[in-house]
Amino acid sequence: MAALLPDMQQLVERMGPHPATELQLDLSSESGQLAWWATAVVLAAAGSEARGLEASRRLLDRGIASPGALGGLVPAELAALLEELGERAPAVAARLVGSSRGLVERWGGSLGALSADCDDLEQLGGRLAGLAPGVGVASVLRFLRPLRDILPGADATPLAASARAAARHLGWISDGDDEEGPPAGLLYRWQESESGVAFRDVEAAAERLGARACLRERAHRCPLADSCPLRQ
C-alpha cells in the first residue's frame, strides 16, 4: 500500500520553514525587510543554507544587518564576520556593503522608497540588482518571494524551479501551472488547505525538497522516503 503524501503542514515540519521565519524576522516591517535583504544576499552565495543562516545570525546578533550599519563597514571587516562562507566571504561582503551604500545614497536607506512607484517585477528587480555589482537574479528573486504581497511590483515573482517541481510531484499543482509569473496555482491550493502555516514556509519547504530530489527526479535522495511520490 502506498504511503500517504505529506500535507503542507507536515512538509514544513519535515523540511523546515522559510529562513525569515527561522530568523524571526518581521517582514511586515521595513527593518525586517532590510534584514531579510542582507540575509537573501548571503544565502544566494553561501552554497549551503545552514552556513548562510549562521552567517546571517551573526550579522543580526551584532545589529549590523541594516543599510546604515553595513554601508559604514569596510568590506574586509565584514568578510571577517562571514567566516562560514569561506572563500566566498569577500565577494559577499562587497555585495552587502555596496548594496547598502547604494540603497542609502539613492533611496535614503528605504526599501519602501525604492519600490514605491514600481509598476512591475522587471522595474523592481532592476532597481534591486542595480544597487551594487554582483547582486544577481538569484539574490533578487530569493528576496522578493516572501514579499509578494508587501512590495509594489513583487506580486509576479515566480516560484523557484525546485519548488515548482516538488509542488507538481506532491499533486499540489498540475503540469503547466505556475511556470512563470505569480504562483497562482500553489497559492490557491494553499488557501484551500487551511493548513495554518504561512505560504512562505510552504514555498521554502517545497524548494528544499525539490532541490534535494524532485528537480532531477532523484527519488533515491528524497527525504520523504516511502512517502516520496516518485517511489509510488
Q: How does pLDDT run across 107-155, given as a tens digit for each residue?
A: 999 999 999 999 999 999 999 999 999 999 999 999 999 999 999 999 9
35, 145: one domain: yes
pLDDT, tens digit, 9 for 90 and up, residues 58-75: 999 999 999 999 999 999
Of 110, 131, 149, which closes a domain?
149
Distance CA 194, CA 175 (A): 23
Residues 6+ apart with CB under 8 A from 72: none
For residues 132 and 187, state if they share a domain.
no
Assess if residue 52 is contained within a domain: yes
Distance separating alpha carbons of residues 166 and 30, to the nearest angstrom = 31
Q: What's the pTM value of the predicted model, to 2 decimals?
A: 0.93
Single out the residue of 212, 209, 204 nearest to residue 23, CA to CA.
Answer: 204
Residue 23 lies in a domain: no
Task: Verify that 81 and 109 share a domain, yes or no.
Answer: yes
Q: Which domain holds residue 91?
A: 28-149
Q: Is residue 135 part of a domain?
A: yes
- Same domain, residue pair 163 and 51: no
What confidence score (pLDDT) does residue 224 get? 86
Q: Does residue 144 share a domain with residue 209?
A: no
Regarding whether 135 and 47 lie in a shared domain, the answer is: yes
On whether residue 132 sits in a domain, the answer given is yes
Which pLDDT does position 3 carry in this prediction?
Answer: 56
Domain match, 39 and 140 both: yes
Burial 33-57 (b: 16+ CB within 10 A, else e): bbbbbbbbbbbbbbeebebbbbbbe
Q: Are residues 139 and 64 in the same domain?
A: yes
Q: Which of 114, 149, 184 is the last residue of a domain?
A: 149
- Number of compact structural domains in the chain: 2
Assigned domain for 2 exists: no
22 within a domain of the structure (yes/no)? no
Answer yes or no: is 92 within a domain: yes
Residues 133 and 33 placed together within one structural domain of the fold: yes
Q: Which one, of 100, 151, 152, 99, lies nearest residue 130 by Cα?
A: 99
Q: What is the CATH number of the domain that holds 36?
A: 1.10.340
**62 and 140 share one domain:** yes
Q: What is the pLDDT of residue 72?
A: 93
Q: Which residue has the higher pLDDT, 4 or 171?
A: 171
Q: Is 183 part of any domain?
A: yes
pLDDT-derived band of residue 35, with 50, 70 and 90 as boundaries? very high
Residue finishing a domain among 123, 149, 175: 149
Same domain, 101 and 191: no
Task: Indicate if 126 and 55 belong to the same structural domain.
Answer: yes
